[in-house]
């Protein structure tokens, strides 16, 4: 009996010690932390990028924390790609053009002239016409993981000068995307490249005459409608093409369930942007009181549309990948041109 009592006493001490030591064994691991930068400034980023980050942080239940940075806060937008490769940042929301992607796809991100008519054209092109496969393959080659693309607003013009004809474009100094600027220069537009957050002040100081960077929703959201007077309803592209990218090693290290949460957050944010832009474009054209609407007659604007097709031919000659992407745009536009309204109003 004495021996049995000694055994029970020693066992109890051991059990207590194990219980006291348990927290060090089962304590939750520190959350996985990412730094994520968007091409958008703070006001716009609240709508176009933050919903995805908020979703992920909430759904990850403390296992993952993403810190969001806005345009140029860690690195300039034009250096986003290199920063992603180096691991200076872990994730990016941007278009290929603005972030100076060292792939043939740079030409097609942002606003590729006349490639789309509506916001939903973008996911259709990626998911039904093969652009997703091309984007995945090309970014794998250069050490960046492409996750998903979606559309946003059309590329209209908001300016301090009234535009009612093609001739009025001549000499306009506009903040715009690299490829869009290259295309518009044939009509006399002078593309100006400056940091995103400097664009509003540049209009006020007269350095810029306006922007060819967005639809009317962004003009009101970011304050550009406060410094310009006119909104041109003609657009050079029906939807922005932008993507979410991550550092490949950070993605590989992420547990499968967290990868699914990241993708779910991105897809949910696509849905949010679809309605935010689609509704905003209509409401602010109809009810906005800051920008006067102007239009170039369609008979004259057809010259721009025709020039875009010539531009496509030029881009297609730059390489095999360029040719494949341009052919997809041609195939898709052939379909929607025959489908009629609401796909095509011509």
Q: Which of 198, 201, 223, 224 shows the shortest CA–CA distance to 211?
A: 224
Distance CA 260, CA 84 (A): 21
Decide if pLDDT at 14 tops 90. Answer: no
Q: pLDDT tens digits for 319-331?
A: 999 999 999 999 9
Number of domains making up the chain: 2
User: What is the average pLDDT across 193-221?
Assistant: 96
Both 184 and 252 in a single domain? Answer: no
Both 185 and 332 in a single domain? Answer: yes
CATH number at residue 133: 3.40.190.170
Both 87 and 133 in a single domain? Answer: yes
Domain limits for position 331: 156-238+289-339
| Position 19 in a domain | no
Pair 292, 284: CB distance under 8 Å:
no
User: What is the average pLDDT across 17-33?
Assistant: 56
Q: pLDDT tens digits for 138-156?
A: 999 999 999 999 999 999 9
Rg, Å, the chain Cα set? 25
Decide if pLDDT at 1 tops 70. Answer: no
| Position 233 in a domain | yes
Of 8-22, 39-53, 297-311, which gets the smallest average pLDDT?
Answer: 8-22
| Cα dist from 111 to 55, 108, 134, 178, 239, whole Å | 27, 7, 18, 9, 7
Distance CA 114, CA 136 (A): 24
pLDDT bracket for residue 29 (50, 70, 90): confident
Predicted TM-score of the model (pTM): 0.89
| Position 243 in a domain | yes
């Amino acid at each position: 009996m004495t021996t049995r009592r000694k055994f029970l006493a020693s066992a109890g001490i051991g059990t207590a010690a194990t219980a006291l030591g348990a927290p060090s064994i089962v304590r939750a691991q520190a959350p996985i932390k990412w730094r994520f930068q968007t091409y958008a400034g703070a006001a716009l980023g609240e709508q176009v990028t933050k919903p995805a980050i908020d979703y992920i942080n909430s759904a990850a239940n403390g296992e993952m924390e993403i810190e969001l940075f806005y345009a140029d806060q860690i690195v300039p937008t034009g250096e986003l790609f290199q920063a992603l490769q180096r691991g200076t940042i872990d994730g990016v929301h941007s278009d290929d053009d603005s972030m100076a992607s060292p792939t043939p796809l740079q030409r097609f991100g942002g606003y590729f002239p006349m490639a789309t008519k509506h916001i939903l054209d973008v996911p259709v092109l990626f998911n039904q016409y093969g652009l997703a496969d091309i984007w995945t393959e090309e970014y794998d080659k250069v050490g960046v993981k492409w996750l998903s693309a979606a559309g946003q607003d059309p590329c209209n013009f908001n300016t301090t000068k009234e535009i009612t004809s093609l001739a009025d474009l001549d000499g306009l100094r506009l903040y715009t995307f690299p490829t869009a600027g290259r295309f518009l220069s044939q009509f006399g537009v002078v593309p100006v490249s400056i940091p995103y957050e400097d664009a509003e002040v540049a209009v006020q100081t007269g350095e810029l005459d306006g922007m060819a960077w967005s639809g009317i929703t962004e003009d009101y959201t970011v304050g550009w409608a406060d410094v310009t007077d006119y909104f041109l309803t003609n657009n050079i592209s029906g939807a922005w093409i932008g993507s979410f990218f991550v550092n490949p090693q950070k993605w590989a290290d992420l547990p499968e369930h967290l990868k699914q949460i990241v993708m779910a957050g991105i897809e949910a944010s696509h849905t949010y942007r679809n309605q935010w832009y689609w509704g905003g474009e209509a409401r602010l054209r109809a009810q906005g009181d800051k920008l006067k609407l102007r239009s170039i007659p369609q008979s004259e604007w057809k010259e721009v549309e025709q020039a875009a097709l010539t531009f496509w031919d030029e881009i297609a000659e730059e390489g095999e990948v360029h040719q494949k992407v341009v052919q997809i745009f041609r195939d898709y536009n052939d379909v929607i041109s025959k489908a009629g309204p609401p796909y095509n109003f011509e």
